[in-house]
Every structure is written in structure tokens, then in C-alpha cells.
Chains A and B, each alone.
Chain A
């Protein structure tokens, strides 16, 4: 089943409440995906800096920071539950290379404004553990998972990020992900898990690195990705949604002058401000909808 949610704020006055809005959305989607949960938050861009979201299997944050600072000069580490947000000017290629020497750390995403958190457990507990309510930002995407294609692990949790400031959440399942994984890996796209969604995220990263727009890439995906899906994809500039041509997997969009919200079910948006005056519609099958700067 799985639950997917996304919110893009058009009015900056709500930025400080982004985490609060997403918490309500994720909590009401907990019944659709009780196995694990995750979310990506886009906040203001750090010029010439990268934020690396890292999942750690140890609680010795101070020691890790110390160890990393031997290799990275300008390091700033923020720890939230079992995740670390590492801020540095170091370029991704070099950082990823250094991280390979730390088995206890795994990178879940990076970019100038994205932060990603994911964890096994009931979504209601996961959002509490990460204090999602306190986050602010311009847009956010979340997922509650009912596992089908791969194991219940942090690696198997969404959102998936295979490129800078990119993320993808998925409700559905893909049937041609093994073939696609091999062809993307040949092109140099790193796909770590056996999960189908990570392959779709890699497919999008590949399209974007070919200088295609997110919309074009998702439209190409309608031909290349075989299976059932509703995708919400995030980039630095905004978010997009697409449903496959059969459209078995649900989605509802609510748009007001202040925000755009997407969710698997309307109940996830019932708590949002002025929802009763929102324009509410279901995305049509095989059509890409996007919002952004």
C-alpha cells in the first residue's frame, strides 16, 4: 500500500510551519505504511556548502565528528536521532570516498538544501524521533512504507536520493527494475539497494544529468518504467507528481494560494490551513504535474 505526501509552500509565511504540516500528513498516513517512514526537507540554500544526510549505526556522535574532522576541515555536525547532518564545503565525490572508510555511516542524501531522514518503525514514532515538527523550509516530501519489494530496513525506506538535492517517494511496485538497475549502473549511477524505487530515483538522476527537465524525465519514465506507481519527486526548485497510465495507486492534490499539498488520501491534508477553500483534484493518469520556483 504505502502512503506518500508532499507539500510545497508558495507563501513564505508558512515556512516555519513546514515540519508541523508534514508531521500531520505523515501521522495520518501511518496506517497505509506502518513498517518504516522517511522524509526530505528542503530549506534555504547554503551557498558553496553541502549538507550530507548520514544514517549512523552508532550513538557516538562526538567521536565520529572528531574522526571525520581529521579528513574534513570545515565540518559542522548536527545529530538528530540516528542521523547526522554534516555541513561542509567538501565536494560530494571526495566526501563519498571518505565515507567509504566508515562502515558505521551510510549516506542517505546530500545537496545544498536537502536533508533526508528515514528509519524503521511506525511513522508516528519516526517523526517524533526526528522532531519533524520543528523543521522549517520551503517544501517537503514524505513516505510511510508497507514493504513489498525489499526488506524492512533503513536502506529499504524512502525517500531515495541518487543525485544532488533530488529525492523520490513511491507508492506501487516496478517489475523491470532489475534490468534497469544494470543499465543505469553501467552508466555510472550508484544504486545501493535491491529496492525498485531506488532504481526509479537513479533513472530520474540519469535524466536530469542529461540536462532534461524533471517533467521531461518523468514523461520518459512512463515508457521505460514498467509497473504500478504514483511518484512524488523533489528537487531544489520544487516538486512533481506522476501516476502510471493505469492509475491504480491513489493521489489527491490540494492547491490554495499559499501551498500545494499532495497525498495518497485526502485525510492526510484535512488539518492544513484553509483546506476547505482549496482546489482539490486527482492527478490524471500519465500526466506530469509540477510546482516550483
Chain B
């Protein structure tokens, strides 16, 4: 089914996608002329596939559950924010706060993301084939952030129990973020994530892993400047 945002209102298009008749066989949708509109495909909850042809604005695929959303273009701030499950695949670049606060699902970005990628992530898997901007994985609580390129300043600042896998350079680490030794279990996690994003598994050896030093968990007067 084709949905043209030049002909139909954004609200109507989202309503159509949010109220799928589960008895029908309509599972594949295409959105044309997104023209940078906000909140395209926000709040989808069914196992459908939506392809967006063009660039989107803020909060594309926000709160997604179950749906598989592909963007043939760039996305604005907060793509897949608060996603619960499903997959969002961005073929271009993403703006800031990609995958913010998301609880689950997979977000794949073929290009770069700007600042705060995976901010406060709570279980999502994010795979960025390019580089990420500053403050990425800020206060990340759970889930995995895979970066095939470089990371900007303050990577993993105040991180909790999320994992960061990175192949390129880290400009600087944030407070309480440190390099970790990758064990077999971690390697298996990374392997499955690379597979999901169609990246060659042999790349695993080129990645480093970062996580929480857990020094900010309890108040310590020696760390007062870090709080």
C-alpha cells in the first residue's frame, strides 16, 4: 500500500499505520514525500514493514513496537526514541539523540549520527556503521551500542550497565566510562549484532568494548567533582 504525504495528511497516514486490521493481509507499506515531517511512523504496534522514501524530521518511528521500518534517507532528532521492539533501519545519517531512552528492538544506521546517540538507552541495540557525535551513550542503562566509525567527546558519560563496542577512535571518555576486556559472551553479543547489520563477523577482532567503572554508583567524597 502506498501512502503519499503530499496527498494525505501526516495524521491520516500515521492513523492508518497505527490501526492495522490484524485479519487483513496488508503488511507492506510505502511512504513517499516525507519531506522532513516530524513523527512519521510514531507509535506503530503491529508486525508490518514500512519503507519511507526520503528524509524525515524529528522522532521518526518513535515508540515503535514490532514494526520493521526502513528509511531511504536521513532522519532528524530522536529516531526510534523510546522504541520497545521491532527494527528501524536508516540508510542515511541520523541527527542527535538517536534511539534515546529506547527499551528494546534494533536500530541500524548506515551513516553517521550526531551527538547523544543512545542517550539513556534502556535495552535497545544500536548499530551505527559510521561515526557518532559527542555525549553518546550518556547515562546509558542497558543494551548495546555498536560504533563502526569514531566517537566524539565524552563517550559513555555516567554510563550504567550498557555495553559500547567501537572500532574507530574515541575522542574522549566521559565520567565513569572505561575500557573492558571482551570475553566470549561479549564477543557473541557483538557477533550477533554485526550479523543483524550485515557486517562481516571477522571484524570482531577490531572492536574494543567500553562500559561502566561503577565508581559513581555510590556516593564517594573523592568523586565529588564527577557528580
Q: Chain A interface (Cβ within 8 Å of chain B)?
A: 247, 250, 252, 265-271, 276, 280-282, 284-285
**Shortest distance between the CB of B79 and any CB in chain A (Å):** 13
Contacts of A266 in B (CB 8 A): 36, 55, 57, 74, 76
**Shortest distance between the CB of A177 and any CB in chain B (Å):** 25
Contacts of A271 in B (CB 8 A): 35
**Shortest distance between the CB of B3 and any CB in chain A (Å):** 17
Residue B149 lies at the interface, judged by CB distance under 8 Å to chain A: no
Contacts of A269 in B (CB 8 A): 36
* Inter-chain contact B37/A267, CB cutoff 8 Å: yes
* Inter-chain contact B95/A250, CB cutoff 8 Å: yes
* Chain B residue nearest to A275 in the complex (CB): B55
Contacts of A252 in B (CB 8 A): 95
**Number of contacts between A and B (CB, 8 Å)?**
44
* Inter-chain contact A270/B36, CB cutoff 8 Å: yes
* Inter-chain contact B115/A280, CB cutoff 8 Å: no
Contacts of B57 in A (CB 8 A): 265-267
A250 and B77 alpha carbons, distance in the complex (Å): 9
Interface centre among A266, A268, A269, A270 (most CB of B within 10 A): A266
A266 and B74 alpha carbons, distance in the complex (Å): 9
Q: Chain B interface (Cβ within 8 Å of chain A)?
A: 35-38, 54-55, 57-58, 74, 76-77, 92-93, 95-96, 114-115, 133-134
A270 and B32 alpha carbons, distance in the complex (Å): 13
Selected contact of B55 from candidates A247, A250, A270, A284, CB within 8 Å:
A270
When A265-B76, A266-B76 are in contact, do A247 and B36 touch as well, CB less than 8 Å? Answer: no
* Inter-chain contact A267/B93, CB cutoff 8 Å: no
* Chain A residue nearest to B38 in the complex (CB): A267
A270 and B56 alpha carbons, distance in the complex (Å): 10
Contacts of B134 in A (CB 8 A): 247, 285
* Chain B residue nearest to A266 in the complex (CB): B36
* Chain A residue nearest to B134 in the complex (CB): A285
* Inter-chain contact B54/A282, CB cutoff 8 Å: no
* Inter-chain contact A270/B35, CB cutoff 8 Å: yes
A268 and B37 alpha carbons, distance in the complex (Å): 10
* Inter-chain contact A265/B74, CB cutoff 8 Å: no
- What are 9 A-B pairs with beta-carbon distances under 8 A? A250-B95, A250-B96, A265-B36, A265-B57, A266-B36, A267-B35, A267-B57, A280-B93, A285-B134
* Inter-chain contact B74/A247, CB cutoff 8 Å: no
A282 and B130 alpha carbons, distance in the complex (Å): 14
A276 and B93 alpha carbons, distance in the complex (Å): 14
Given contacts A247-B133, A285-B134, 8 further A-B contacts (CB under 8 A): A247-B96, A247-B134, A250-B76, A266-B57, A266-B76, A267-B37, A280-B74, A282-B93
